[in-house]
Structure 1
Amino acid sequence: MNTTLVFGPSALAASIARTATLRDAPPEMLARWGDSALTQVEWLVEEGTTFALSQYLQVLADAERTSFAGRIGAGITDLLMNALGFTWRDNASCLSSSLAPHADFIYADGAVSGHGVVLAEAHGSFAASTSLAGMTREAKRKYLRQVRPHLAAASPHGKVIHGYSIAFGSRPGTAGAFLHVAETLISKPRGRRREPTQPAPLPSPEAAPTSLALSAHRSNFAIMDAPSVVQWIDWVRDDGERPDEMLPSSFIRIPYAGRFFLCSMEMGWPFGGYPDWLDEFWHPRWWPPLRRARTLSWGRDDFAGWFAMEEKAAEGFLNALSAIVRNGRDNLPETLELPRVDPTGFGLGGDDAVLGSPDSEYRYALYRDGLALLGSPPPRRIAGHRTWLPREGIGGDRP
């Protein structure tokens, strides 16, 4: 594994939001949790090119400092798992209904695609005594206690075949951080390996475990302020009443950094329908959505954060969700054919190349499942409007 994890402020804030919203809380509540992640990064992480904690961390109560360290640890874990090629995620509480210790998250895709899922345990520590040796011990201890006992266990998303324990720490008042990853040992087979008589069929590169895709996108559309989509996901997962299939979800289509993204207007334009004049009179000062603004500052790059979905990824999932609505949740497929996106704004590497071109004016984070936190500069225009109808799927620019 590469020894350096590179990430920008938007990626860190987005990953904290992604990991904090993987439970079945109301989507309106999870949207506020996503907002709070951006605020925390703004105030508690220092400006600069090397990770450092802000002086404001010291004025918080002990419990708040401990909680923030845990959130950062979870965010770093999500960044690393995405950088390693994993796409779909869920909270690992589904492993056990008891209080037995278990890892924090379940991931799928990447190297284990078609074989099972992996566990990821997260740990964060911000203490004056934090050291690499301490993070190494903590990662190994948590692996032995909370990951290894669940290897080969059955989960709602598949068999657990591998696991990681990721510890991240930093000393307040000093620049730099310590990261250690403990993972399942992959031992070489003894003796001569027999070739299978019939090669196992390779899974489609776009096949995603349905249960994990629904969990990941429930979180995504919640922090995007699209509660109607979340309600349909809950119905598909047999949790909640069947929503009104005649009510559409509205999205605006905006060009950004050479791609198109869909941004929910369900909560941003609270008056129902979609005003035709919005395209003509669109101005960056209205960005983020009209309901509220989120602004962060990191060094000289001030940016506003707006959670959005890469258009092809959103279209693929929403159409797959519509197919389930039409066919009924009793006929839920084991996998969904969903596109992946190459990450932007973070990655494994020894320099800033993984953050994108240094000459680019765009500062944003984009994940494999299509979720993005768009930063500076604000989008300059609207390229259209798209509507999702639960039974019919997502329509064109002007359905």
Structure 2
Amino acid sequence: MSDVLTSSAVWRVENSVGITGHTRHRHNPSPISVGFNAPGMCKTLTFGPTALAASIARTATLRDAPPEMLARWGYSALTEVEWLIEDGSTFMLTQHINSLADAERTAFAGRVGAGVTDLLMNALGYTWRDNAACLSSSLAPHADFIYGDGAVTDYGVVLAEARGSFAANVSAAAISGQAKRKYSKQVKPHLAAESAHGKVIHGYSIAFGSRPGSAGAVLHAAETRISKLRGKRSPPTEPTPRLSPESTPTSLALATHRANFSLMDAPSIVTWIDWVRAGGERPDADSPVSFLEIPYAGRIFLACMESIWPFHDHPYWLDDLWHDPRWWPHFPRRRLLRRSGDGFAGWFVMEEKSAERFLNALSTIIRGGRENMPAALGLPRVEHAGFAVDRDEGGDVSPESEYSYALYRDGLALLGSPPPRRIVGHRTWSPEEGLRSN
């Protein structure tokens, strides 16, 4: 009888990974955009399985593929990180990594590298994102992602290249070399280029690695160097801000929320976003989308019911089933990211005000016609949760907490544990009327 692999300790505790290397690469001119100052690089990045799985899924869905496909693209992310990363505060791969084929191990390392990069970029204050394929239609090598907001507001956007490696030869020197080479080949050539979301004025190359069988991880960040003024020259005059603190380029907000609502299993909303972005046949405006209002960790989140609840005219039936133990094993079956050892699947939701502002803005564009689409949208930001930079040891969240979740600045969240309270309301989005309460 063949041996069956088991997980003696599924990953639950947050890991703290130190930034083991940070290099700055010269560029001429510097700065590319006068007045821009990059946020300071952190010393440590702390995250748990829910946050890492959420970021793996977030980066995997930055494509123009059908939303139904993208909603299932990250199904195994939470299971992968729980089974392939050891439980404990120090990052370490489990023995199961050795059971993977070389190609799958390489793919998993790449997914983790992308997830770590997304966590770091969010922690540095960058909110909105897109796949960097929008830079060029050619096959020329380019970085993986474009980010906006935070320090780069009013100046342009930044590039981010992600690299992950789980191999026997992983070392600080090897990971540092990978980050620097990727920066030189896939970030530097695109600096000062114009993208669909603005001028590229800064770049990062993030390389993450761990050696199977050894505790610890290596994380190197390479980024564009911003030269300091020398002599008695007067400092350049900073440009007059053009955007309010809550504004973001419409194109970047649409790209971000296309990925978000794909993860939330809301294909109708994604179809409208695609129509606004690219045209084509106008979707049916008479098809509303239902949401549940869920209290969790002191906030209200909206969960889309489009793909799992066929009775849109009778959403109140759900309230009677919310705490029925016979219901939960079936309810999340089609949700993303099933957890190991329990009946709850990770659930992508969105902070209510963030969802409301975007969906109402989308309805305004639909009513006015995409030819009148504004250059920027006023959208809120929320404080991220579930991951942190430079956190004191006393600030770690207990793995026994009733709340296990990751929340991003754009409002998207992945709930890693069942909501402890009942549904508090229901809302419906109409393409032309916006989000309303039932």
Query: Alignment partner for residue 80 of structure 1, among 117, 120, 123?
Result: 120
Gaps of 5+ in 2: 1-40
1:1-399 matched pairs, under 5 angstroms: 1-194=41-234, 200-201=240-241, 203-283=243-323, 285=325, 286-287=327-328, 289=331, 291-292=333-334, 294-297=337-340, 304-352=345-393, 356=397, 360-396=401-437, 398=438
Letter in 2 for 1:166: I
Q: Take 2:309 and 2:393, find their aligned partners in 1: how far apart are those partners?
A: 37
Spell out structure 1 runs of 4+ moving beyond 3 A.
Answer: 190-199, 284-291, 301-304, 350-360
Gaps of 5+ in 1: none
Matched-pair contact (CA < 8 Å) for 1:114–1:203: yes
> How far is 1:302 from its partner?
9.2
Distance 1:353 1:161, change over 3 A: farther
Residues 45-95 of structure 1: per-residue CA shift (max 9 Å, x gap): 222222111222111111111111100000000000000000000000111
Letter in 1 for 2:407: L
Distance 1:179 1:239, change over 3 A: farther
Q: Take 1:165 and 1:387, find their aligned partners in 2: how far apart are those partners?
A: 41
Distance 1:129 1:261, change over 3 A: same
Distance 1:355 1:98, change over 3 A: farther
Residues 231-290 of structure 1: per-residue CA shift (max 9 Å, x gap): 000000015421111110000001001000000100110344333222234216444845
> How far is 1:356 from its partner?
4.6
Q: Take 1:21 and 1:239, find their aligned partners in 2: how far apart are those partners?
A: 21
Q: How many residues align?
A: 395
> How far is 1:336 from its partner?
0.4
> How far is 1:360 from its partner?
4.2
Q: Take 1:188 and 1:148, find their aligned partners in 2: how far apart are those partners?
A: 19
Coordinate RMSD, CA, aligned:
2.1
Matched-pair contact (CA < 8 Å) for 1:284–1:378: no
Matched-pair contact (CA < 8 Å) for 2:332–2:345: no
Letter in 2 for 1:384: G
TM-score, structure 1 as length reference: 0.93
Residues 213-242 of structure 1: per-residue CA shift (max 9 Å, x gap): 101100000011111110000000015421
Q: Take 2:339 and 2:332, find their aligned partners in 1: how far apart are those partners?
A: 17
Matched-pair contact (CA < 8 Å) for 2:354–2:381: yes
Matched-pair contact (CA < 8 Å) for 1:309–1:372: yes
Segment drifting more, 122-131 vs 239-248 = 239-248
Segment drifting more, 153-162 vs 375-384 = 375-384
Matched-pair contact (CA < 8 Å) for 2:328–2:344: no
Q: Take 2:394 and 2:245, find their aligned partners in 1: how far apart are those partners?
A: 26
Matched-pair contact (CA < 8 Å) for 2:229–2:235: no
Q: Take 1:379 and 1:231, find their aligned partners in 2: how far apart are those partners?
A: 33
